[in-house]
């Protein structure tokens, strides 16, 4: 079997070359591949019928149970024969059907042969996954075959429709197969069937029942059952040989095959039974009913196929020996007569260029062989003796004639369906070959079809006619399959005697004839019946709905809005950890103290008021100040808890952030621009409160869970013994956790460099800034050389002006008062920062706080005098400070190592200094100085980039906006 | 060990951790290459930079991969005091990250044989349209993308090998930061690119913060950040379940954000669209691999014992991710956004495999990532080649009739899309099958439900992909002419590898499946 599959693959691969070389005759050569498959199956017949199913096994992906296992039992044997023989005939037919210059014929040939191979693989594979693989292969190849003429829009949409529907079913089936396979523990088809046949599924096993229904969904969609029946008639856009092969013998039979294959395992599951009977019955009736009103012969046959597929599913899915026997017999009969009829339509289309039965006239005379062929095939379809169709239908009617109510209902459906089938079969033959409605028109012009085109359908028709002669052997052969259900009551035969089934058959012929005779009235009646919403519309609506839902959800949730996205994340935060909090309700064990003193309550109230006011503020500046207030309030709380160092740092950080905020906010409008609707704002408030509440709740609950001793235990002693300082916060920074501080310094350095490199994009800018710094330094040196009193007072830093900054400040912006105060406090503040730096080891302070204080002093200078003033106050490049700071810190570590200590170890000296006494010196002071310098450098950097650079941008813009008005520079009003 | 001992007298009890240099050698090589890249950027003459950068980065990746390929068994072990755990899954994920990184790098270096500019702006920080930008434009391309990519790769290698939550967080940041920057560097449509980067950065920082918060809560629960310790504590510590569940969920926020799972997915389309296309491909493949590697370790090593606490949430997330990703991809008109949503759906499928909580799940997730990663890089590589008036033709309507204009390219894209759809004989099928089978076998009823949701979502995504195939092959070309650039050898290799893996992993998946299964044992 594997060799045959490879042969198909090779044939498919060389098909384009062959077609290019030989033209359409290549099809005849390609027919060898499916013919070989059929021939091989025929040779194996004795072995198969003896019950010894030949198997082949090639390990492929053992870890996921994917094995190339093939097995040829009776069912596979039958389908191999059918698919192979009809495939070969269709390919031979193709050789005569297509024009030499048909575009894309090579690809078409490849797909058709490939399809034959996929079909062979599908019916012989004994591995569920390999079966699925071939299943999808038939889907994709049929898509390419249906869409053979991609220029036509209908062809395109039909192909897509078929693809979407069958892929959907296929994937659903895959889900079911996985569940089944995992449950049984193997994906070997024969073992799975054997397992479930031996131990039927318990009705309560919902998972498995779901899986079975999913598998059935695949079969239903593939075999075009209600509600997926619509893709099959639409797929008639394909070239006729494709319709003959795919829609009669092969692809749609894949679903039937699967049902037949799994029926021994699942037929007892009620869900399976109901699906099969209801969907199959409905499909049979609906297809036949629709078929009665088609004018396009191909569509008539397509709906007929739908109807027959419903019939087949009912028979093969029922799970009784009689029904199964009838099912496989009908499968065989249907393949013959339906392929034949499609090919006949192809010939007519070829010969007359139309398929409309209202236009065709008098073909009986011009194409007599074809007419006989069609009549025989149609007789088989209608179930008239002595055709195989009759034998199968007899068996089918007999199978349901002797049991319970459900069976009788099924029987009624089958009988009605057969009546309709008879009627449309008659309509087909009559419309195609006898006089059409255009009774008086001229006979349709015909150019004679070739012998191959007529011969191939004739062979199939002959087979339909001759097969019943071998009813006995066929019965024996098919029993190899149907026998697993038990011993059937009836066997296949042309004549059983005067049975009830025969009576029902006669009844169907009579009523069918009546329906045909009254076809005009029937058509009118059908027109009057209001159109039920066609499944195709439902499909379209679902697809449109999918589009629409997708669009709307995209529009609603994917507007690219940051608040929306953030909102989603926050909702999750509130819902999940918040939900856990509520669920575990840990508050019971909490012991909370509300307040230690009235002062704490007061500070808390201030914080709350500031927070609420900040949310309500519509001006940015106000909001920033109010947020600042909450920060200062927490500093107060720290202070009240006796942590002056923390409070100091908090105050300084808060101040710096407010200042930086304001520097940036200069560039934004004063008010928040998105007022938003009331509801939106309320929602935002809700979000904020909820997130805050969850975070606060976590903050309250989490520390309560502490069982381990805090890491800070013992640090107070260590700080004095090893760090030589009493300010534990500072000692932690410069000694105990000095490595962390070092890392942070590096990060600060990198961040400052990053900010600077963003602002000073180019070397030019950096060079310009450096030049300005150098100039400023030179100017100061000059000024110092003149003893602080420049004679003219224009280029100095002191003298007649308090600050140099005013020279470039706009006249409206500077304030003498501010300049005076700045001048007076700057040095005081700097001194204080030095004090903090040196005192920090034992008292509140330290390098970080001191650096912030110094930075604030610079901020004041900048605010009072602008960027020139900033340069004058600190005429060094920030990078120098940053580098020096890091060097000091790292050098401290190195120096300690050189002195044979550990890196960053603190050495304590008490140095006697005359007059002052003993001075307590710790080496970590150098480290602290490094911190100090880095912080100042960072502040300077930030001021230069967010302050000075923005200033220049603003000035540039103002300049551009009012080029005529000269900038007021210098002079005081 | 008492807290006092932890911080005790400096030299007495401090023992430096054992470092197995072989175990971390690949990471050291990548880090070294990244640092050399920085030096090249600073000191090499402008003309030589591109070649030097590309060579350094590519050699670094290949050398690191060679180490893993040749010495993998000897590398396995816990090192750096448990901060880094090099075990089977870690090595497999590192290997995948390295190879996909190399493919991504090849696309980033794509300059169409000198006939076209690369995908990156020469001056990322200049204001779009400003004078400064023009100035930079004249100076030529910038090459900082290479060291940035290498740093990101370093983080991605560390991420699945993190033995504790802090290392994991560091890795998360190391891989994220360069990606934020890379996102902002698109040559065309720079405002879109910068907006995407800003969004990515803000949301990414937020979710990182959640991760850190979760790590703190788990520390509070278990008294350790080590994943193995946390895993052991799950069975022994009682009475602090709230901390465990809340902490686990917060950690998931951080990681699920990185993999782009619903409801943390909304950044994906914006970022995928805004980022330079090669970066998108790199990010889609490598970030996903690394983040799933970390998620696997977190779930399997640290939190498996407490699965009852969070399983339901992840089931819902996985189901939603598949459904939302596939349904939203239906209405997309931009190919990059479409691939973004498809990546969301894929994240859902992978989550299904992960939730098997079994070694089969690890193997399935590994296989899925391998098949998806290479294919997605190739897909974005193809997007890079389709141009209209010099910039990428990302609107789907521009792809109409591409099959006639560039049959090979369109066929390649078709193949990749079939792979994404999970058509048999492509890697996508085997991958989907592996995750679903693992879920059905080991996750009980939830696994079956998720599998059913999964196959139905697959059907929806298949519809989307087929539509593009139909558009490429069966539609008339639209109005504006579309050019297809010819890739250079590197880019062609990256795309070729994606196509090849799609076919080879589809037809012969056994070796990789076997490798993934044999390397599915976590150490801790």
Contacts of A214 in chain B (CB under 8 A): 452, 455
Measured between alpha carbons, how far is residue A237 from residues A146, A151, A158, A241 in Å? 6, 12, 7, 11
Percent of chain A surpassing pLDDT 70: 91
pLDDT of the residue at A403? 65
The whole-angstrom distance between B47's CA and the closest CA on chain A is 18
Measured distance between the N- and C-terminal CA atoms of chain B, rounded to whole angstroms: 20
The whole-angstrom distance between A229's CA and the closest CA on chain B is 18
Contacts of A178 in chain B (CB under 8 A): 433, 436-437, 440, 451
Q: Which residue from A minimizes the CA distance to B437? A: A178
Tokens of A891: 């050098």
Tokens of A547: 């589009």
Of A554, A569, A711, the CB nearest to B6: A711
The better pLDDT of the pair A49, B169 is held by B169
pLDDT of the residue at A364? 76
Residue with structure tokens 């519309």? A537
Neighbouring CB atoms inside 10 A of B313's CB total 19
Residue B424 near residue B506, CB atoms below 8 Å: yes
The better pLDDT of the pair B12, B19 is held by B19
Map residue B120 onto helix, strand or coil: strand
pLDDT of the residue at A606? 94
- Overall size of chain A counted in residues: 973
Tokens of A930: 């490094």
Torsion of CA A896, A901, A905, A910, to 10 degrees: -80
Q: What string of DSSP letters covers B194-243?
A: HHHHHHHHHHHHHHHHHHHHHHHHHHHHHS--BHHHHHHHHHH--S-HHH
pLDDT of the residue at A802? 56
Do B462 and A580 lie within an 8 Å CB cutoff? no
Of A143, A571, A713, the CB nearest to B4: A713
pLDDT in tens, A374-413: 999 999 998 888 889 898 988 888 888 766 777 888 888 9
Do A576 and B313 lie within an 8 Å CB cutoff? yes
Q: Is B404 exposed, middle or buried (0-12, 13-18, 19+ CB in 10 A)?
A: middle
Do B423 and A713 lie within an 8 Å CB cutoff? no
Give the CA angle between residues B415, B417, B421 to the nearest 5°.
115
How far apart are the C-alpha atoms of A51 and A423, rounded to whole Å? 41
The whole-angstrom distance between B473's CA and the closest CA on chain A is 8
pLDDT of the residue at B467? 85
Of B11, B206, B324, the CB nearest to A569: B206
Quote the pTM value. Answer: 0.85
Residue A479 near residue A492, CB atoms below 8 Å: no
Q: Which residue from A minimizes the CA distance to B271? A: A560
Q: Which residue from A minimizes the CA distance to B333? A: A551
Residue A175 near residue A214, CB atoms below 8 Å: yes
Contacts of B10 in chain A (CB under 8 A): 722, 902, 905
The whole-angstrom distance between A515's CA and the closest CA on chain B is 42
Tokens of A435: 């006089």
Of B329, B437, B513, the CB nearest to A178: B437
Summarize the confidence of residues B343-369 as an average pLDDT: 94
Residue B304 near residue B338, CB atoms below 8 Å: no
HEC profile for A680-728? HHHHHHHHHHHHHHHHHHHHHHHHHCCCCCCCCCCHHHHHHHCCCCCCH
With the C-alpha atoms ordered A626, A631, A637, A640, is the resulting torsion angle positive or negative?
A: negative
How far apart are the C-alpha atoms of B371 and B418, rounded to whole Å? 12
Residue B314 near residue B306, CB atoms below 8 Å: no
How far apart are the C-alpha atoms of A196 and A52, rounded to whole Å? 21
* Cβ within 8 Å of residue A96, ≥6 positions away: A24, A450, A452, A453
* Cβ within 8 Å of residue B56, ≥6 positions away: B33, B36, B37, B40, B146
* Cβ within 8 Å of residue B225, ≥6 positions away: B164, B165, B166, B215, B218, B219
pLDDT of the residue at A893? 79
Answer whether residue A335 shows pLDDT above 70: yes
The whole-angstrom distance between A821's CA and the closest CA on chain B is 39
User: b/e per residue, B147-173, with b = 16+ CB within 10 A?
Assistant: bbbbbbbbbbbbbbbbbbbebbbbbbe
Residue with structure tokens 């199939």? A460
Neighbouring CB atoms inside 10 A of A233's CB total 25
pLDDT in tens, A620-646: 889 999 999 999 999 999 999 888 888
* Cβ within 8 Å of residue A718, ≥6 positions away: A736, B7, B8
Do B517 and A63 lie within an 8 Å CB cutoff? yes
Residue A722 near residue A716, CB atoms below 8 Å: no
Backbone φ and ψ of A296, nearest 5°: -75, 125
Q: Where are the alpha helices (DSSP H) in A518-561?
A: 519-528, 535-557
pLDDT in tens, A665-683: 877 887 877 666 778 888 8
Answer whether residue A795 shows pLDDT above 50: no
- According to DSSP, the β-strands at B84-86 and B77-79 are antiparallel
Backbone φ and ψ of B280, nearest 5°: -60, -45
Summarize the confidence of residues A874-885 as an average pLDDT: 85
With the C-alpha atoms ordered B229, B235, B239, B240, is the resulting torsion angle positive or negative?
A: positive
Do B11 and A902 lie within an 8 Å CB cutoff? yes
Which of A35, A46, A33 has its CA nearest to residue A74?
Answer: A46
Name the band, by pLDDT with cuts 50, 70 and 90, for residue B100. very high
Contacts of B428 in chain A (CB under 8 A): none
pLDDT of the residue at B8? 39
* Cβ within 8 Å of residue B260, ≥6 positions away: B267, B268, B288, B343, B344, B347
Backbone φ and ψ of A346, nearest 5°: -60, -40
- Residue ranges per structural domain of chain A: 1-266, 277-529, 599-672, 739-961
Looking at A168-182, A570-584, B284-298, which range is the least confident one?
A: A570-584
pLDDT of the residue at B135? 67
pLDDT in tens, A889-933: 888 878 877 777 777 777 777 777 777 777 777 778 888 898 899
pLDDT in tens, A364-376: 777 888 889 999 9
Answer whether residue A444 shows pLDDT above 70: no
pLDDT of the residue at A796? 42
Name the band, by pLDDT with cuts 50, 70 and 90, for residue B3. very low
pLDDT of the residue at A357? 77
Residue with structure tokens 């022994």? B236
Chains A, B: CB pairs < 8 Å: 222
The whole-angstrom distance between A232's CA and the closest CA on chain B is 18
Neighbouring CB atoms inside 10 A of B476's CB total 9
Q: Where are the alpha helices (DSSP H) in A434-499?
A: 451-466, 471-482
Q: Which residue from A minimizes the CA distance to B9? A: A722
Interface ipTM above 0.85: no
Which of A252, A8, A21 has its CA nearest to residue A112?
Answer: A8
Contacts of A569 in chain B (CB under 8 A): 203, 206-207, 210, 253, 257, 263-264
pLDDT in tens, B395-405: 988 898 888 88
Residue B502 near residue B415, CB atoms below 8 Å: yes
How far apart are the C-alpha atoms of A124 and A5, rounded to whole Å? 10
Do B246 and A580 lie within an 8 Å CB cutoff? yes
C-alpha A622: how far from its chain's center? Answer: 45
DSSP A228: S
Residue A803 near residue A864, CB atoms below 8 Å: yes
Answer whether residue B118 shows pLDDT above 90: no
How far apart are the C-alpha atoms of B292 and B301, rounded to whole Å? 13
Contacts of A554 in chain B (CB under 8 A): 328, 331-332
pLDDT of the residue at A197? 86
Which of B512, B514, B499 has its CA nearest to residue B426?
Answer: B499
Q: Is A296 left (phi over 0), alpha (psi -120 to 50) or beta?
A: beta
Contacts of B436 in chain A (CB under 8 A): 174-175, 178
């Amino acid at each position: 079997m594997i060799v045959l599959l490879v042969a198909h693959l090779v044939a498919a691969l060389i098909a384009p070359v062959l077609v290019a070389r030989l033209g359409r005759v290549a099809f005849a050569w390609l027919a060898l591949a499916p013919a070989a498959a059929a021939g091989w199956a025929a040779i194996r017949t004795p072995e198969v019928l003896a019950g010894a199913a030949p198997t082949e096994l090639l390990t492929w992906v053992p870890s996921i149970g994917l094995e190339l296992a093939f097995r040829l039992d009776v069912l596979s044997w039958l389908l191999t024969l059918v698919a192979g023989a009809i495939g070969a005939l269709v390919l031979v037919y193709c050789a005569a059907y297509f024009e030499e210059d048909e575009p894309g014929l090579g690809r078409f040939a490849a797909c058709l042969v490939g399809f034959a191979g996929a079909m062979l693989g599908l019916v012989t594979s004994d591995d569920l996954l390999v079966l699925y693989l071939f299943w999808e292969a038939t889907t994709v190849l049929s898509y390419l075959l249906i869409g053979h003429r991609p220029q036509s829009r209908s062809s395109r949409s039909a192909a897509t429709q078929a693809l979407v529907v069958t892929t959907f079913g296929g994937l659903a089936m895959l889900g079911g197969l996985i569940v089944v396979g995992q449950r049984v523990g193997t994906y070997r088809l024969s073992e799975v069937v054997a397992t479930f046949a031996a131990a039927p599924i318990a009705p309560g096993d919902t998972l498995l029942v779901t899986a079975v229904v999913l598998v059935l969904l695949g079969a239903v969609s593939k075999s075009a059952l209600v509600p997926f029946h619509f893709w099959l008639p639409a797929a008639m856009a394909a070239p006729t040989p494709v319709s003959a092969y795919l829609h009669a013998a092969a692809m749609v039979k894949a679903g039937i095959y699967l049902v037949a294959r799994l029926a021994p395992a699942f037929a007892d599951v009620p869900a399976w039974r109901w699906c099969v009977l209801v969907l199959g019955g409905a499909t049979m009736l609906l297809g036949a009913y629709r078929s009665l009103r088609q004018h396009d012969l191909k569509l008539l046959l397509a709906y007929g196929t739908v109807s027959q597929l419903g019939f087949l599913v009912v028979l093969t899915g029922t799970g009784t020996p009689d029904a199964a026997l009838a099912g496989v017999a009908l499968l065989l009969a249907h393949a013959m007569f339906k392929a034949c009829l499609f090919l006949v339509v192809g010939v007519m289309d070829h010969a007359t260029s139309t398929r409309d039965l209202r236009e065709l006239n008098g073909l009986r005379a011009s194409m007599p062989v074809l007419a006989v062929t069609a009549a025989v095939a149609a007789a088989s379809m209608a179930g008239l003796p002595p055709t195989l169709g009759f034998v199968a239908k007899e068996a089918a009617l007999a199978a349901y004639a002797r049991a319970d109510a459900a069976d009788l209902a099924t029987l009624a459906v089958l009988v009605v369906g057969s009546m309709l089938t008879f009627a449309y079969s008659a309509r087909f033959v009559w419309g195609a070959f006898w006089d059409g409605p255009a009774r008086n028109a001229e006979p349709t012009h015909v150019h004679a079809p070739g012998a191959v085109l007529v011969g191939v359908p004739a062979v199939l028709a002959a087979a339909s006619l001759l097969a019943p002669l071998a009813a006995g052997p066929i019965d024996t052969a098919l029993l190899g399959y149907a026998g697993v259900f038990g011993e059937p009551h009836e066997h296949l035969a042309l004549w059983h005697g005067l049975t009830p089934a025969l009576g029902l058959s006669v009844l169907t012929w009579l009523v069918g004839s009546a329906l045909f005779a009254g076809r005009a009235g029937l058509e009118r009646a059908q027109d009057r019946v209001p159109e039920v919403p066609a499944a195709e519309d439902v499909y379209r609506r679902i697809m449109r709905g999918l589009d629409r839902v997708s669009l709307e959800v995209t529009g609603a949730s994917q507007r690219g809005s940051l608040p929306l996205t953030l909102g989603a994340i926050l909702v999750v935060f509130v819902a999940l950890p918040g939900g856990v909090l509520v669920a575990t309700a840990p508050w019971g064990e909490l012991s909370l103290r509300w307040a230690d003193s009235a002062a704490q309550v007061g500070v808390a109230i201030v914080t709350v008021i500031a927070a609420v006011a900040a949310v309500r503020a519509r001006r940015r500046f106000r909001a920033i100040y109010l947020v600042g207030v909450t920060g200062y309030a927490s500093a107060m709380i720290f202070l009240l808890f006796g942590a002056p160092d923390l409070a100091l740092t908090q105050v300084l950080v808060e101040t710096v952030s407010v200042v930086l905020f304001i520097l940036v906010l200069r560039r934004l409008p004063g008010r928040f621009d998105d007022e938003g609707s009331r509801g939106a704002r309320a929602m935002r408030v809700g979000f904020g409160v909820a997130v805050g509440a969850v975070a606060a709740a976590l903050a309250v609950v989490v520390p309560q869970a502490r069982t381990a001793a805090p890491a800070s235990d013992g640090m107070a002693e260590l700080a004095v013994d090893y760090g030589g300082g009493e300010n534990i916060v500072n000692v932690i920074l410069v000694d105990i956790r000095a490595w962390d501080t070092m890392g942070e310094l590096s990060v600060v350095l990198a961040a400052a460099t990053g900010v600077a490199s963003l602002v000073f994009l180019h070397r030019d800018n950096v060079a310009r800034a450096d030049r300005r710094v150098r100039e400023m330094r030179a100017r100061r040196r000059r000024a110092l050389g003149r003893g602080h009193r420049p004679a003219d007072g224009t280029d100095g830093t002191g003298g007649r002006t308090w600050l140099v900054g005013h020279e470039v400040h706009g006249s409206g912006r500077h304030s003498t008062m501010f300049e005076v105060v700045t001048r007076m406090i700057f040095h005081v503040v700097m001194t204080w920062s030095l004090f903090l730096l040196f005192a920090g080891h034992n008292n509140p302070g330290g390098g970080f706080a001191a650096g912030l204080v110094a930075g604030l002093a610079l901020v004041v200078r900048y605010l009072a005098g602008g960027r020139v003033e900033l340069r004058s106050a600190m005429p060094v490049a920030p990078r120098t400070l940053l580098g020096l700071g890091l060097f000091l810190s790292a050098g401290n570590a190195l120096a300690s190592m050189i002195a044979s200590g550990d890196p960053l170890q603190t050495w304590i000296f008490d140095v006697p200094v005359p007059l002052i006494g003993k001075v307590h010196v710790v080496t970590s002071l150098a480290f602290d100085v490094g911190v100090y310098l880095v912080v100042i450098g960072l502040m300077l950097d930030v001021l230069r980039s967010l302050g000075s650079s923005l200033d220049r941008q603003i000035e540039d813009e103002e300049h551009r906006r009012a080029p005529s008005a000269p900038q007021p520079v210098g002079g005081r009003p | 060990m008492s807290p006092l001992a932890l911080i005790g007298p400096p030299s007495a009890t401090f023992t430096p951790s054992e470092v197995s240099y072989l175990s971390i050698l690949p990471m050291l090589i990548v880090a070294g290459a990244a640092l050399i890249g920085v030096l090249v950027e600073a000191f090499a003459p402008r003309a030589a930079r591109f070649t030097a950068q590309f060579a350094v980065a590519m050699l670094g990746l290949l050398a690191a991969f060679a180490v893993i390929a040749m010495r993998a068994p000897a590398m396995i072990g816990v090192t750096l005091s448990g901060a880094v755990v090099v075990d089977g899954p870690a090595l497999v994920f590192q290997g995948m990250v390295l190879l996909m990184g190399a493919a991504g790098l090849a696309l980033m270096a794509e300059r169409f044989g000198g006939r076209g500019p690369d995908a990156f702006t020469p001056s990322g920080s200049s204001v779009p349209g400003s004078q400064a930008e023009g100035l930079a434009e004249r100076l030529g391309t910038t090459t900082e993308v290479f060291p940035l990519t290498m740093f990101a790769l370093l983080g991605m290698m560390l991420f699945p090998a993190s033995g504790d939550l802090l290392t994991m967080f560091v890795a998360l940041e190391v891989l994220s930061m360069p990606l934020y920057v890379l996102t902002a560097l698109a040559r065309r449509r720079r405002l879109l690119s910068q907006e995407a980067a800003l969004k990515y950065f803000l949301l990414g920082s937020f979710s990182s913060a959640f991760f850190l918060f979760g790590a703190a809560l788990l520390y509070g629960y278990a008294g350790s950040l080590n994943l193995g310790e946390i895993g052991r504590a799950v069975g022994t510590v009682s009475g602090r379940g709230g901390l465990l569940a809340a902490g686990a969920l917060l950690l998931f926020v951080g990681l699920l954000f990185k993999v782009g799972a619903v409801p943390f997915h909304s950044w994906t389309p914006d970022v995928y669209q805004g980022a330079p296309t090669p970066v998108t491909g790199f990010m889609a493949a490598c970030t996903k691999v690394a983040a799933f590697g970390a998620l696997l370790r977190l779930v399997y090593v640290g939190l498996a014992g407490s699965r009852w606490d969070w399983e339901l949430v992840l089931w819902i997330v996985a189901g939603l991710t598949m459904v939302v990703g596939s349904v939203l991809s239906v209405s997309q008109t931009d190919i990059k956004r479409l691939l973004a949503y498809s990546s969301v759906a894929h994240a859902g499928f992978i989550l299904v495999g992960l939730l098997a909580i079994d070694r089969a799940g690890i193997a399935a997730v590994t296989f899925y990532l391998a098949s998806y990663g290479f294919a997605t890089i190739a897909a974005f590589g193809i997007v890079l080649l389709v141009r209209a008036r010099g910039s990428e033709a990302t609107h789907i309507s521009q792809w109409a009739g591409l099959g006639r204009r560039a049959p090979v390219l369109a066929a390649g894209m078709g193949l990749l899309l079939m792979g994404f759809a999970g058509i048999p004989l492509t890697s996508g099928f085997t991958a989907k099958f592996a995750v679903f089978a693992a879920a059905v076998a080991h996750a009980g009823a939830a696994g079956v439900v998720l599998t059913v949701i999964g196959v139905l979502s697959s059907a929806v995504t298949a519809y989307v992909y087929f539509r593009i195939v139909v558009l490429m092959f069966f539609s008339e070309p639209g109005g504006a002419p579309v050019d297809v650039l010819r890739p250079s050898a590197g880019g062609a290799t990256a795309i070729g590898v994606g196509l090849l893996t799609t076919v080879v992993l589809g037809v012969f998946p056994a070796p990789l499946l076997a490798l993934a299964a044999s390397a599915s044992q976590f150490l801790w």
